[in-house]
Each structure stands twice: as structure tokens, then as C-alpha cells.
Chain A
Amino acid sequence: TQLLEQSPQFLSIQEGENLTVYCNSSSVFSSLQWYRQEPGEGPVLLVTVVTGGEVKKLKRLTFQFGDARKDSSLHITAAQPGDTGLYLCAGAPDSWGKLQFGAGTQVVVTP
């Protein structure tokens, strides 16, 4: 059973455009984490949000945690080819260590 639904599954945009990736669930999470994975590598943690309504910015990336701590979004402003990768959201429930991943959003940014 997949607790986290990511959308869209695939996103192809031109350099300079903006994009938003969504991560939704019916479950409440103690934290929501976003990772980026490149081919042949493991996921790399981008950010963790823990408070409902929290907004975090990492250069051109903006992460938001829903007020009810059930959903999150990742917005990239003025995307660059270096932003290409598989973006994964992951929710940490209150139970021990069971980080649940979404299926991922493949983002391709072309020059």
C-alpha cells in the first residue's frame, strides 16, 4: 500500500520555467522529507519539514508542508538543467523508522 501519492510522475520543461511537484497522503506525518536522486546514485536529502504550514527555501527551491501535515509541495523557480533528477518525497510516521516513499517525479530540464 502506497501511503504517499506524488504528481506528476514525469515533468519535462525548458530551462527558465517554473515547476511544482506535489506529494499527498491521507496519513499524518511527523516530518516530510524531499530527496533528489540522480542515475546510479542514492537519494540525497534536500530538506525536512516538520511543522504544519512550514515553508523552507533552498536557493531556487521552495518546500511547503501542509497545515494538517498530510501533504507537501516542491516548487522550483527558473529551473536549470542541473535540476534534472528523480524527486522523491518521504513521510516519517510516528512509528519507529518506517520512512515511506512516494513513487517519485522524474524532472527533465532541457537547455
Chain B
Amino acid sequence: DTAVSQTPKYLVTQMGNDKSIKCEQNLGHDTMYWYKQDSKKFLKIMFSYNNKELIINETVPNRFSPKSPDKAHLNLHINSLELGDSAVYFCASSHKRGTLGYTFGSGTRLTVV
């Protein structure tokens, strides 16, 4: 199936731990994104990569570090997790600037306890 796949689906961890979320797309898209959805369902962009190059880096704590080994993969590593990091994180991809639409993964629900 052509899709955006992210793992894990659920992640429960203690404060202070370091964790990673992986994302892969087989749609042939050249741009990938990380979005954070808060408890009120608001989606906010965090990062965007185009052909492995970082092009958007919103105001995100530097505990969050994206890595794109190739244009089909975009991983998110989070250091020293805090309670406020609990949210659903979505990976997405698009052609170029995404003017015609994004394809989203099914999300990773991160709970920090």
C-alpha cells in the first residue's frame, strides 16, 4: 500500500527519557513534515524537509531534532522528555510545497508520565 507510515503508534515514557519516532513514505514525495496536535486538536507545524534539506524549523525546543537520511524518511528524536511534550505527533508528505495537499500518517500518541 502506498502511504505514510510512522512508528510507534503509541509511546508511553517517563520524564527525562529520550525517544524517537520514525516516519517513512513510499509515495515518491520530495517534502516531509512533522506536525504536533494538541489536546484541543490544533495542528501545528514543527519541521519540514525537502529532499533531505531542512526548510522549516518552527519555534520548537531544541530537545526536538529531526533527521532525514533520505527523502523517503524523516525521523524525530526527542531528548529529556517533559510532561508538556505529551501530544499526538503526525508525519506528513507532499509534492514540493504541498499546495495541492498533504498525506498524513496515522499519528504517534506520546504520553510522558
Q: How far is the CB of A40 from chain B (nearest CB, A)?
A: 7
State which of A31, A43, A45, A104 has its C-beta within 8 Å of the C-beta of B99. A31
- Pair B45/A99 contact, Cβ less than 8 Å: yes
In the complex, the answer to whether A44 meets B42 with C-beta atoms within 8 Å is no
B98 on the A face (CB < 8 A): yes
**Does B66 reach chain A (CB closer than 8 Å)?**
no
Choose the segment among B11-19, B48-56, B70-78, B79-87 that binds chain A (4+ C-beta atoms closer than 8 Å): B48-56
B106 at the interface (CB under 8 A from A): yes
**Residues in A whose Cβ lies below 8 Å from that of B33:** 97, 99
Contact of A96 among B4, B40, B97 (CB under 8 A): B97
Q: Which residues of B contact A106 (CB under 8 A)?
A: 41
A-B contact pairs, 11 of them (CB 8 A): A37-B41, A40-B107, A42-B106, A43-B104, A45-B103, A92-B98, A97-B97, A101-B42, A101-B44, A103-B40, A103-B42
Taking the closest CB of chain B, its distance from the CB of A72, in whole angstroms, is 14
A86 and B41 contacting across the interface, CB-CB below 8 Å: yes
- Total interface residues on B, CB under 8 Å, equals 27
Assess whether A88 is interfacial by the CB under 8 Å rule.
yes
In residues 82-113 of chain B, which contact A (Cβ within 8 Å)?
Answer: 90, 92, 94, 97-107
Does B48 contact A97, Cβ atoms closer than 8 Å? Answer: yes
Assess the A92–B99 pair: CB atoms within 8 A.
yes
Given A31-B100, A33-B101, also A96-B106 (CB < 8 A): no
- In whole angstroms, how far apart are the Cα atoms of A104 and B98 in the complex? 20
B27 on the interface (CB 8 Å rule)? no
Which residues of B have CB within 8 Å of A100? 45
Does B25 sit at the interface, judged by CB under 8 A?
A: no
Q: Are A42 and B105 also in contact (CB < 8 A) when A96-B56, A97-B50 are?
A: yes
